[in-house]
Structure 1
Amino acid sequence: MPLQLKPTLREDLAAADRALIGGWVCSGSPVMAEIMAGSGLDLVLIDMEHAPNGLESVLAQLHALSGYPVTPLVRLSSDDPVTIKQVLDLGVQNLLIPMISTPEQARAVAASTQYPPAGRRGIGNALARSGRWNRVRDYLDDAASHISIYLQIETAEGVENAEAIAAVEGIDGIFAGPSDLSASMGLLGQQTHPQVVDAVKSTFTAARRAGKTAGVNAFDPAAARDYLDAGASWVLVGADVSLVARGSEQLAADFIPRTAH
């Protein structure tokens, strides 16, 4: 009997009557992934850029997420076409590609995620989890309908090109990264500086003009709510490692005398 894959983030966003809210898994731990998956969040993003993740650990986290009504995403370490192919073959349906600043980069990513003749994705579905080892009917013909691709805008150049990037065929939306964007703008560490916030909000407008959706990373609750009010379609509002770090610090502050520090 043919298997049915989960809806993509693109489909989730189209069906939603509100913005979607998600969190990061940066620990590389399937246990933490499962804890995040059962939280009630809409999305869980597994990070390969700044976290200790390889293909095997990403696969383990996908398995941990699979039993929950949450949409998994994976942020890759780069736009390398080989890595894109491998992660898609793992069965990842929703990709976030970092550091995209030009429409040329966007077109290269789109080509890497689609089978010929539309693109250059290598064909290995019979051997891979992507098409469930040939158990998903017509996966080769319908592969593009089973994945969604988002590009991270995190440079001043990317902001300037946001509409052209979002408009590329095969790209489903853009996602602003205020941390690297602030550095690109000469405001290192100032993610909530008014100029950075304005630049992020301009990407929302650019995406709408291109007929696409836009998201943003915002761990500051006030910033997250402001971006939601400004029209973000999805917002990532926290990470497993940050939650544990701040929570454990609070435990220490609550129970260890100040003189002991």
Structure 2
Amino acid sequence: MPLHLTQTFRHRLAETTRPLAGMWVCSGSPVMAEIAAGAGLDWVLIDMEHSPNGLASVLAQLQAVAAYPSLPVVRVSSGDSVTIKQVLDLGAQNILVPMVSTPQQAHDVVAAMHYPPRGVRGIGSAFARSGRWSRVEGYLRDADDHVALFVQVETAEGVDNAAAIAAVDGIDGVFVGPGDLAASMGLIGQQMHPEVIAAVLRAFESVKAAGKPVGVNAFDPTQAESYLDAGAQFILVGADVALVARGSEALTARWTRRGTIPGT
């Protein structure tokens, strides 16, 4: 039973000639994950950092998305090696680690992604979806080919170290997070502040100079277009919970502000 290399975000980015567009799935719902994947997005980000997701719900979302070409990427809650091991064993092939600000942190999460002697990932694929319960021939031998690691640069320190982080062997790309970056710069809630945008663009240049793909989060369409013009190769432009929140607010505005019922 083969695992397809095209299921890694690293390979998909290497093959594409255009930026890859995706959205967050923050609800913890496999139904929402399937709706997003079925819409034709290039990728969906299943979030464990700021969402009500545990291992069981992430597994259900990975299974739901598996029927579609859209690639699932799981953002783990931290660079903890146990968490990364467990999410990989769920069958996640693409991991995003938040809050990586130093080259040493990058080295540590690379080690968590890989079996010895390269890393420290525990061996349990015979019991797990990762190796399809020993149905994937040579999984332990070839596991490095079947996983991809992206890290999130989202602090001022991370921007300063972006080139060194991106240069670490095993880092397949860097995703810039303007929200936490703004907070680290003393500009909390001001993702569109010129100084924050300038810091994002500095990170872009550093990562690209290291020869790695760079991505970014941008819910504002104008800013998203600007980041794409600046060379972002992958981008998140929405979230399931935000779409439902704004859509339900629009329904409320449209249908609860009418006048009295005729004849009453």
Instruction: Pick the TM interval, shorter chain.
Output: over 0.9
Partner of 1:226: 226
Shift of 1:9: 0.3
Question: Structure 1 counterpart of 2:183, which letter?
Answer: A
Aligned to 2:3: 4
The aligned residue for residue 155 of structure 1 is: 155
Whether the 8 Å CA contact 1:5–1:136 is kept in 2: the answer is no
Deviation at 1:4, TM superposition (A): 2.6
% of aligned pairs identical? Answer: 63
Residues 5 and 145 in structure 2, CA contact (< 8 A), matched pair in contact too: no
Q: How many angstroms apart in 1 are the aligned matches of 2:4 and 2:126?
A: 15
Q: Which residue of 1 aligns with 2:14?
A: 14
Give the structure 2 partner of residue 56 of structure 1.
56
Between the aligned partners of 2:230 and 2:258, the Cα distance in structure 1 is 42
- Alignment match, 2:187: 187
SS, match of residue 145 in structure 1: helix
Work out the CA distance in 2 between the residues paired with 1:114 and 1:103: 17
* Alignment-derived partner of residue 75 in structure 1: 75
Looking at structure 1, the residues matched to 115 and 3 of structure 2 have their Cα atoms a distance apart, in angstroms, of 20
Alignment of 1:26-37 (within 5 A): 26-37=26-37
Question: d(CA) in 1 for partners of 2:143 and 2:103?
Answer: 23
Paired residue secondary structure (1:237) = strand
Contact kept in structure 1, 2:103 and 2:164, CA below 8 Å: yes
Contact 1:112 1:119 in 2 (8 A): yes
Q: Distance in 1 between matches of 2:35 and 2:113?
A: 30
> Could you report, residue by residue, the CA deviation over 1:217-240 in whole angstroms, capped at 9, with x for unpaired residues?
111111110000000010000000
1:76 shift after superposition? 0.5
- The 5-angstrom pairing of residues 24-173 of structure 1 reads 24-173=24-173
Question: Helix, strand or coil: the match of 1:115?
Answer: coil
CA deviation profile, 1:27-55 (whole Å, cap 9, x unmatched): 00011011101111100010000000000
Query: Is 37-46 or 134-143 further displaced after alignment?
Result: 134-143
How far did 1:259 drift? 8.3
Q: Is the 8 A contact 2:26 2:51 kept in 1?
A: yes
Structure with higher Rg: it is 2
SS in 2 for 1:74: strand
CA contact (8 A) 2:3 2:146 kept: no
Contact map agreement 2:5 2:11 (CA 8 A) in 1: no
Q: CA RMSD in A?
A: 1.2
Unpaired runs of 5+ in structure 2? Answer: none
Query: TM-score if structure 2 supplies the norm length?
Result: 0.96
Question: What TM-score do you get using the length of structure 1 for normalisation?
Answer: 0.97
Contact 1:21 1:236 in 2 (8 A): yes
Q: CA, structure 1 residues 249+6, in 2 after alignment: closer, same or farther (shift >3 Å)?
A: farther
1:235-254 equivalences under 5 Å are 235-254=235-254
DSSP-derived class of the 1:215 partner = strand
Q: CA deviation at 1:258?
A: 7.3
**Structure 1 residue runs without a partner (length 5+):** none
Shift of 1:3: 2.5
Say if 1:76 and 1:97, in contact at 8 Å, map to a contact too: yes
**1:66-100 deviation digits (Å, cap 9, x = unpaired):** 11110000000000000000000101000000001
Q: Is the 8 A contact 1:91 1:129 kept in 2?
A: yes
**Distance change (3 Å), C-alpha of 1:258 and 1:222:** farther
